[in-house]
Structure 1
Amino acid sequence: MTDSAVPTPSPFDTAAAPLPTSWHAMPHEEVAARLGVSLDGLSEDEARQRLAEHGPNALPEPPRPSPIRRFLAQFNSALIYFLLAGAAAAFALGHVVDAVVIIAVVMVNAVVGFLQEGRAEQALRAIRNMISPHAAVIRGRQRISVHARDLVPGDLVLLEAGDRVPADTRLLRARGMLIDESILTGESVAASKREEPAAADAALGDRHSMAFSGTTVAAGQGAGIVVSTGSHTEIGRIGRLIAEVEPLATPLLRQIDNFARRFTWAAILAAGALFVFAVAVRGYGWTEALIAVVALAVGVVPEGLPAVITITLAIGVRRMARLNAVIRRLPAVETLGATSVICSDKTGTLTRNEMTVRRVVLPETDATEAIEVSGAGYEPVGTLSWANSGDPSAAAEALARCGLLCNDAHLHARDGVWRAEGDPMEGALVAFAAKAGLSPAVERGDWRRLDEIPFDAAYRFMASLHRGPQEEIAVFVKGAPEAVLAMCALSASQRERWGEAIAGVAAEGERLLGFAMKTLDAAPDRLTFDNVAGGFSFLGLAGFIDPPRPEAIAAIAECRSAGIGVKMVTGDHGLTAGAIARQLGLAREPVVVTGAEVDAVSDAELVELAGRTSVFARTSPENKLRIVRALQSTGAVVAMTGDGVNDAPSLRQADVGIAMGVKGTEAAKEAAEVVLLDDNFASIVAAVTQGRTVYDNIRKMIAWTLPTNGGEVLSVIGAIAFGFTMPMSAAQILWINLATSITLGLALAFEPTEPGIMNRPPRRADGGLVTRFMLWRIVLVSVLFMLATAAMFTLSLARGQGIEMARTIVVNTIVVMEIFYLFSVRFMHMSSITWRGALGTPAVLAALVAVVAGQFAFTYLPPMQHMFGTRPVALLDGVMIVGVGVLLMLLLEAEKALVRRFRLFDPEDL
């Protein structure tokens, strides 16, 4: 660009002419003309005027609700209303301990919810912090440093390696410029930049004439014109998407809310009907009827359930942390277990994020006879093999030496892990040279580098000049195969053959480099383009791939057995993504759809397309958001992984957003519920297994709590209905609930994973918290508890033991039945009469000891006898009580076997 080539019209008026959006497709002269800027840069007065017009180069602060409103919003739940009403009733009737426990549970839940609010604001704040604080600009012919907030459209920005791009910039000059755009595109390799216009319909990752705000200059230098600032940049557009996404309630929270509403109305109607029946039919006095209703309320309210659910989720958080999955929001633990579709990024999650030379094609072979290279990552360990006779290492030596010498990367082993310092593909070439039998240190020492032409996107190759061990002079070249072939003396048939080889290797999704060399009679003073104009001997091609993680392949197979769909959503090219998908086993013939194809279909059409597609390639943030919503519209529970700013909107939209902890941006982590410490897909599947375990344990607690409470309630209702004496006092019911829920109920939170948990299909997202099987089990166990209670109470009275003794026997019978029922409910999908079932877990055994000790105190300690009106139980009565518990467990295990044997319920209802 020259001064004379840039007209200097008056500054544009954005009110009259909206900013164009295809800056990447315009010649830079047109860009400069539209923005009214020359190589002199803007004047200070013009910069101030434009700053007032466009505002600061920063993302706007979103409105925040007041802390009081956020805190009060935590109480807007039917379950909370029900618990508060129960607390008020308990206070009114003198049950202070019960009321305090309920209120404490409500307050803990409110505080946890309050602290977890505002994730959208945190994500936006993280994105705002990614904008560079200062920028080098040309203003009034002077190079100055200005705060990034003060940049305006039309500013001339200078960029160097290591700089963070401060605003969306149309490049005027790019010299060896590579920009890491992974936060926007997901590409693992830095994008090369050049100043000529890109195609108007180019995807974001192919806009080689643009530098985007928040990305990092990895190499080279350049200059450009700022075309968009603040919320008008690509990163700002993503910020607006995040703000527009409404957070979804998790399946568990939806189920608990539905259950609480129904449970509340059922309890109110039952209490009212019981009160009316007691007064109008049975002739109870108002006080007696009220006491009966209080006993019913105390028995029916599962006051410990919310706290135990919270503790269960917290235990899941701790277990998942050991599996390298950090949970930022408690309900996400359970939501992982409900996941039916995982949309995963490719680079670093399904793959190693380490380039590897996979195959080499030499002049004397074709693509079908390529040398195959084993090993993965940068570890210089592997072998070369091919179908031809002869030593493949010797055949590939010239190419390996070229790739090693025309190379600036180095390999280092740190803590047993090999890493590349420099370009990933150059690091892979160093590892390949070692596999081919060359010593990088020896070769680089013998072949001293005299000069080089660094890689530049304009000519797409790198060249280096060397003096060999025999004083020979050689020029080595590596780069895009087409560019390298153009330097070589080849016949038309040879060029056609290499063209076919290039197409064949590229079809496998591999990135390609070509290699060539030539010898010179004498070393020139400098290596110039004249030195590399032609006369090279073509050495061959190398195909690179970011290999799949072996554990990811196994994890995907496990997902398939668990009925969980896995879809790759990546910014990479379709061919590359499709090749990796086949190696991972996503599908036998994976369907690959590009972001442009997603843009071309309606939301309704995308639902069908998303369902049958295995790989989404070259996707934009809007594409990812639409894909997640399309899958959710079918009832799927979607987990979405991501690491870049471009992933933040879809992470927030997904039922479970999973951010990468190693290479993930802060914006992605703030928008997600889960952060992976090792960026490994296998850790996601392990977390899903734990999520299913957590939900299993919550269901076990509900299946244990509701029937035991139901047995107490039916006993009270039966006594009133038949005019019997109450078998328990309200205080005794309260004792049972408090003593067992914080011991036996809590023990279920620590249950390990049941065998075969990942062989079950995902549960329905719209399913209820109480399935048909659980409802049947609640009714059955409640009736059995009621019958046993009535039988023991009647038998005790018939033996003339008195009301106090009869009630003491009833309370102990219920507690013993709860203990045996606990051992039965520990295994919902298999028999509990096994050594594993009998031995229990440390938590179960500790709870058993605590409950037995509590019951002995309840029955035999004088202060407890005075408080609860109990009497000491004789040995024979104690044996009878334990016998009732054993009989209950045998009946329930028989019922469990019949259900499994005759498939009386659908699998998802179990």
Structure 2
Amino acid sequence: MNKPQYQVHNKNADEALAELGSSAAGLSTQEAKARFLHYGENALPQAPGPSLLYRFFKHFHDTLIYVLLFAALVTAILGHWLDTVVILAVVVINAIIGFIQEGKAEQALAGIRQMLSVNANVCRDGQWQQLPADVLVPGDIVKLRSGDRVPADLRMLETTELRIEESALTGESMPVSKQTAPVATDAPLGDRSCLAFSGTLVTSGRGIGVVTATGATTEIGQINTLLSDVQSLETPLTKQMNQFGRYLALAIAILTVLMLAIGLLAHNYAPVDVFLAAIGFAVAAIPEGLPAILTITLALGVKQMARRNAITRRLNAVETLGAITVICSDKTGTLTRNEMTVKDVVTRQGHYQVNGIGYEPTGDILHQNQPVALGEHPALQALIEVIAVANDSELQQKAQQWQVHGEPTEGALLCLAEKTGFERERYQRLAVIPFESENKFMASLEQRPDGSKQLLLKGAPDRLLPRCQTQLSAQGEIEPLDQAFWLKQIEVLSQQGLRVLAAAGKSTEQNELGIKELEALCFYGLIGIIDPPRPEAITAIAACQGAGIKVKMITGDHAGTAKAIGEAMGLAQHGELVVYTGKQVEQASSAELQEMALKGTIFARTSPEHKLRLVQALQQQGEVVAMTGDGVNDAPALKQADVGVAMGIKGSEASKEAADIVLADDNFSTIAAAVAEGRTIYDNLRKAILFILPTNGAQGLVMLCAVLFGLTLPLTPVQILWVNMVVAVTLALALAFEPAEPGVMQRAPRQTKAALLSGAFLRRITLVSVLIGGCAMLLFQLALSEGFDLAYARTITVTALVVAQAGYLLNSRHLSSFSLHPKLLFTNLIAWLAIAILVLLQLGFVYAPFMQNWFGTTSLQLVHWGWALLGAVCVMLVIELEKKLLW
């Protein structure tokens, strides 16, 4: 991983300039060109993506597909071109489905690149000039102002009220004040207040800084490198299917060789006939329709999840959701709204609670659980006057969403004032002392509507209390300041994870405002502000915990704030919250980190690399991890996780492109719904597998028995492919529409290391294969014994297989419960529609002349349809009896 080109946050401004070989006048044009040749363009490197041809042909890289391609080659050599064309068509159709559903390639790096600034105000040759940001080099002097996007990593040399929004990078929910003093060498990223980071946004003030890192070595560039290094993981189902495919291919190969040996040596079959029989067996045993049905089932799941506001970018993520054991969630914007909100107000008259969330100015102020009127609470009214009038922000509603133009904290205060109906438009500002990080307050001299003048002050309580001598009493009268009372209230609010502000003021006759006038003030009260938890996320966390899924918070915010939010959201399911910091994560060994990752509930003050390491540590412990987030700092962990979940509304482009699933409503509760949907989809996939494999087992058994006992082959390879594909695309597809099983979110996550086919599954597959295969063989021999020709007997055999599968579909809709109960029989009407379509297709197979020519079939008498139907009913009843006795 790239490191910053210069580490100067622990050095003063002059030392930083000296180390960078620069000065306050900037670099010369000649020196800048030389450094550009050394350091390169201030841009993030772009790795070439896979070509379209590669993405298409990789879908042929499957063991079972290789077996089918070999079968196509043999049939071509033998001159059976129809068989060759049908087999190849099946293979190509599967590849096309996979290629289309895969969608567009990963574009996470492009999402990050969009965050970089286009132009920069640079001092070169002692002159300020506008230059493209991509020509910046370390040592360049850059000027920042409100609204700018920081063009490179900077060490600040001068700052004037400079505040920068860094939540997308550090997780800090508030804009960060910048200053020029050095900080500790080991200070976390979010505490390096003398640095400005590439891609972040200046919300207010101005400043001048020297470039310390460009391109890939900036902090955002390091995230880019992390993303490039993260490898996509196989999903649990992919691993299981690959393992199943290898075992099945090995078994087919062994049995095919055995068939060839027996046919040639024991029964003296002609070589061509033996090869055709072997190919027929291989084609029969391979579930070539299974990849298609898995893809289609997942695609239908994607559509269902989209209706629940979960947009799936990677198909396999749908089923992986059902195996999730841990959800690692970012705090800001994911568990919380990323909208500062006033929750508590304290005056001498009492403690007030504030209803409403975010910047929408609706809600009540409650005192003893009753709404209050400002006229009856003079201290509260005085406090509201301060926060409404000594305020430079605006609230606006756009597209049904309230937004703040200005500081988020001021937006929260203004929202509180508007909830009371306070009108600030009638005030006239006479003078102002803007907020400065050194003072930590804002003062405003205002003329009231009645013509009187009022000095209003809001800011940090520790800066306001020393300037106050009095306070407003419960009756609204001025009385001596009770500093001990206020210090106690500040402690109480801070312990709740609230950011505490204070309001003070006094009447005055002065026309000018200076620091010296801010004395002998009257203290009005305290305001507690928080980035509030999403109420629906609290319910969703409880639902996930009930489903056996652990929820952990990984955030760049401070430990105290994160812990307060975690307690409010119910993350402490049993006992105390366990909180670790990014510094502890960084100092931990690999073994210690794995233990911390399992034990910890909250990880605070973390960097992007910490988040990535924590996800990897959980995966090394066998956990299946979902990571949620909205910032660019979450992108590497989102990509590393088994399922990355990004916020669609407030999420950065980088996080959305790195994620597998994007929440269109930014609602954590959608994750719980998506997990339930993922579990349902996996259940339906298992039902589809349990349904399809006996189809292949029955046909393979028919072909194997025919060769072993020297009998006439009951099926041809193209007839086998007909049964496989027509059953898969009609009957098996119906299982994708099955509703959720009862208690889907009350059971533990499935074991990803468990075999795809359990003992009960293998028993069911064997039993159904023997029943359907035996029924088909019996009808084939019965038809021949009654004097019907081979084409007629084979047509009966195919029809028996198809009709029996239609009956077995009803068995498969419920794995263990009685499927023929009247209340359950019609809960999935798609199943009956699929059976109707299958009947029409089979009628065409039997009676259409062109189908008879392609597949070697002939028209059947009605009585022989009755034979097939009787066999299907027998199979259905035996399977229901097996459920009753053995499941």
Shorter-chain TM band: over 0.9
Tell me, yes or no, if structure 1 residue 531 matches structure 2 residue 517.
Answer: yes
Structure 2 Cα separation of the partners of residues 387 and 747 of structure 1: 58
Consecutive unaligned residues of structure 1, counting only runs of 5 or more, are 1-17, 901-910
Tell me, yes or no, if structure 1 residue 633 matches structure 2 residue 613.
Answer: no
Residues 116, 329 of structure 1: 8 Å contact kept? no
Question: What is the aligned counterpart of 1:404 among 388, 397, 406?
Answer: 388
Consecutive unaligned residues of structure 2, counting only runs of 5 or more, are 472-479
Trace 1:471-490 onto structure 2 (pairs within 5 A): 471-489=451-469
Q: CA deviation at 1:730?
A: 3.6
Structure 1 Cα separation of the partners of residues 816 and 199 of structure 2: 51
Deviation readout 1:167-203 (Å, 9 max, x if unpaired): 1111122112110112211222211112222233321
Question: What is the aligned counterpart of 2:277 among 292, 316, 323?
Answer: 292
Secondary structure class of the residue paired with 1:457: coil
Trace 1:195-234 onto structure 2 (pairs within 5 A): 195-234=180-219
Structure 2 Cα separation of the partners of residues 643 and 269 of structure 1: 52
Q: CA deviation at 1:699?
A: 1.9
The one-letter code sitting in structure 2 at the alignment partner of 1:546 is D
Deviation readout 1:231-277 (Å, 9 max, x if unpaired): 22111222222222222122222222212211111111111111112
Residues 41, 139 of structure 1: 8 Å contact kept? yes
CA 1:55/1:285 → structure 2, altered by over 3 Å: closer, same or farther? closer
Structure 2 Cα separation of the partners of residues 285 and 36 of structure 1: 87
Structure 2 Cα separation of the partners of residues 845 and 529 of structure 1: 82
Q: CA deviation at 1:162?
A: 0.7
Secondary structure class of the residue paired with 1:25: coil
Structure 2 Cα separation of the partners of residues 721 and 388 of structure 1: 85
The one-letter code sitting in structure 2 at the alignment partner of 1:528 is G
Residues 579, 604 of structure 2: 8 Å contact kept? yes
Trace 1:366-381 onto structure 2 (pairs within 5 A): 370-381=351-362
Deviation readout 1:24-63 (Å, 9 max, x if unpaired): 2222122123223332222222222332333332223446
Q: CA deviation at 1:758?
A: 2.1
| 2:297 counterpart residue number | 312
Secondary structure class of the residue paired with 2:705: helix
Question: What is the aligned counterpart of 1:701 among 688, 692, 701?
Answer: 688
| 2:611 counterpart residue number | 624
The one-letter code sitting in structure 1 at the alignment partner of 2:442 is M
Residues 354, 424 of structure 1: 8 Å contact kept? yes
Using the TM superposition, name which of 394-403 and 151-160 deviates more: 394-403
Deviation readout 1:457-478 (Å, 9 max, x if unpaired): 1211111111123322111111
The one-letter code sitting in structure 2 at the alignment partner of 1:470 is D
Residues 86, 301 of structure 1: 8 Å contact kept? no
| 1:516 counterpart residue number | 504
| 1:429 counterpart residue number | 413
Q: CA deviation at 1:813?
A: 2.0
- TM-score of the superposed pair, with normalisation by structure 2: 0.92
Residues 511, 543 of structure 1: 8 Å contact kept? yes
Give me the CA root mean square deviation.
2.7
Using the TM superposition, name which of 212-221 and 795-804 deviates more: 795-804
| 2:475 counterpart residue number | none
Question: What is the aligned counterpart of 2:669 among 671, 678, 682?
Answer: 682
| 1:4 counterpart residue number | none
The one-letter code sitting in structure 1 at the alignment partner of 2:555 is T
CA 1:77/1:862 → structure 2, altered by over 3 Å: closer, same or farther? closer
Using the TM superposition, name which of 450-459 and 747-756 deviates more: 747-756
Q: CA deviation at 1:599?
A: 1.1
Tell me, yes or no, if structure 1 residue 168 matches structure 2 residue 153.
Answer: yes
Structure 2 Cα separation of the partners of residues 245 and 708 of structure 1: 40
| 2:639 counterpart residue number | 652
The one-letter code sitting in structure 2 at the alignment partner of 1:457 is S
Q: CA deviation at 1:775?
A: 1.9
Secondary structure class of the residue paired with 1:23: coil
| 2:344 counterpart residue number | 359
Deviation readout 1:736-788 (Å, 9 max, x if unpaired): 22322222123333333333322232222233333333222211211221232
Residues 6, 213 of structure 2: 8 Å contact kept? no
Tell me, yes or no, if structure 1 residue 301 matches structure 2 residue 304.
Answer: no
Q: CA deviation at 1:64?
A: 6.1
Deviation readout 1:533-556 (Å, 9 max, x if unpaired): x21111111111222222212211
Q: CA deviation at 1:819?
A: 0.6
| 2:90 counterpart residue number | 102
Residues 386, 392 of structure 1: 8 Å contact kept? no
CA 1:42/1:800 → structure 2, altered by over 3 Å: closer, same or farther? closer
Residues 323, 749 of structure 2: 8 Å contact kept? yes
Q: CA deviation at 1:818?
A: 0.4
The one-letter code sitting in structure 2 at the alignment partner of 1:527 is L
The one-letter code sitting in structure 1 at the alignment partner of 2:516 is D
CA 1:482/1:452 → structure 2, altered by over 3 Å: closer, same or farther? same
Residues 402, 477 of structure 1: 8 Å contact kept? yes
The one-letter code sitting in structure 2 at the alignment partner of 1:218 is T
Residues 71, 279 of structure 2: 8 Å contact kept? no
Structure 1 Cα separation of the partners of residues 616 and 367 of structure 2: 47
| 1:274 counterpart residue number | 259
Residues 80, 106 of structure 1: 8 Å contact kept? no
Secondary structure class of the residue paired with 1:36: coil
Tell me, yes or no, if structure 1 residue 560 matches structure 2 residue 559.
Answer: no
- TM-score of the superposed pair, with normalisation by structure 1: 0.90
Using the TM superposition, name which of 721-730 and 240-249 deviates more: 721-730
CA 1:139/1:734 → structure 2, altered by over 3 Å: closer, same or farther? closer
CA 1:462/1:493 → structure 2, altered by over 3 Å: closer, same or farther? closer
Using the TM superposition, name which of 321-330 and 801-810 deviates more: 801-810
Trace 1:59-458 onto structure 2 (pairs within 5 A): 59-62=44-47, 73=58, 75-92=60-77, 93-94=80-81, 95-105=83-93, 107-108=95-96, 111-112=99-100, 116-117=104-105, 119=106, 122-365=107-350, 370-387=351-368, 393=374, 394-395=376-377, 396-414=380-398, 416-435=400-419, 437=420, 439-440=421-422, 442=423, 444-458=424-438
CA 1:831/1:756 → structure 2, altered by over 3 Å: closer, same or farther? farther
Tell me, yes or no, if structure 1 residue 579 matches structure 2 residue 564.
Answer: yes
| 1:817 counterpart residue number | 804
| 2:482 counterpart residue number | 494
Q: CA deviation at 1:637?
A: 1.4
Structure 1 Cα separation of the partners of residues 132 and 158 of structure 2: 22
Using the TM superposition, name which of 873-882 and 405-414 deviates more: 873-882
Question: What is the aligned counterpart of 2:705 among 718, 728, 731?
Answer: 718
Structure 2 Cα separation of the partners of residues 453 and 733 of structure 1: 85
Trace 1:757-776 onto structure 2 (pairs within 5 A): 757-776=744-763
Residues 91, 99 of structure 1: 8 Å contact kept? no
The one-letter code sitting in structure 2 at the alignment partner of 1:421 is H
Deviation readout 1:574-629 (Å, 9 max, x if unpaired): 12211222222222432221111111211111111111211111110110011000
The one-letter code sitting in structure 2 at the alignment partner of 1:47 is A
CA 1:227/1:275 → structure 2, altered by over 3 Å: closer, same or farther? same
Structure 2 Cα separation of the partners of residues 180 and 47 of structure 1: 29
Secondary structure class of the residue paired with 1:702: helix
Question: What is the aligned counterpart of 2:597 among 586, 610, 634?
Answer: 610
The one-letter code sitting in structure 2 at the alignment partner of 1:84 is L
Secondary structure class of the residue paired with 1:445: coil
Secondary structure class of the residue paired with 1:469: coil
Q: CA deviation at 1:152?
A: 1.9
Structure 2 Cα separation of the partners of residues 389 and 696 of structure 1: 50
The one-letter code sitting in structure 1 at the alignment partner of 2:348 is P
Using the TM superposition, name which of 273-282 and 880-889 deviates more: 880-889
Residues 485, 538 of structure 1: 8 Å contact kept? yes
Deviation readout 1:207-226 (Å, 9 max, x if unpaired): 11111111110111111111
Using the TM superposition, name which of 204-213 and 837-846 deviates more: 837-846
Secondary structure class of the residue paired with 2:425: helix
Q: CA deviation at 1:692?
A: 2.3
| 1:25 counterpart residue number | 10
Residues 314, 660 of structure 2: 8 Å contact kept? yes
| 1:591 counterpart residue number | 578
CA 1:181/1:845 → structure 2, altered by over 3 Å: closer, same or farther? same
Using the TM superposition, name which of 88-97 and 859-868 deviates more: 859-868
The one-letter code sitting in structure 2 at the alignment partner of 1:859 is V
CA 1:103/1:72 → structure 2, altered by over 3 Å: closer, same or farther? closer
Residues 298, 316 of structure 2: 8 Å contact kept? yes
